[in-house]
Amino acid sequence: MITAGGIYGIVKEVQETAFLVEIAKDLVIKVDKGSIYVSAEDAQQTPKEGEKK
């Protein structure tokens, strides 16, 4: 996933109006849902066991 600002990361949690996105080991940021882009590659991948998509 990539934000409108160009930050790449992994969605760790989905909230009502935002995502919690891990951008580095143990570094999670909160990003508004309206500023997220999902790449075609990400959309086709299935989550690994224990991983949220």
Domain ranges of the chain: 2-44
Q: pLDDT value at position 3?
A: 85
Mean pLDDT of the chain, nearest integer: 83
pLDDT classification of 5: cutoffs 50, 70, 90: confident
Query: What is the DSSP secondary-structure string of the chain?
Result: -EETTS-B-EEEEE-SSEEEEEEETTEEEEEEGGGEE--HHHHHPPPPTT---
The closest of 21, 2, 18 to 10, measured between CA atoms, is 21
pLDDT classification of 49: cutoffs 50, 70, 90: low
Find the mean pLDDT for residues 41-50. Answer: 63
Q: List phi, psi (to 5°) of 46.
A: -95, 145
pTM comes to 0.67
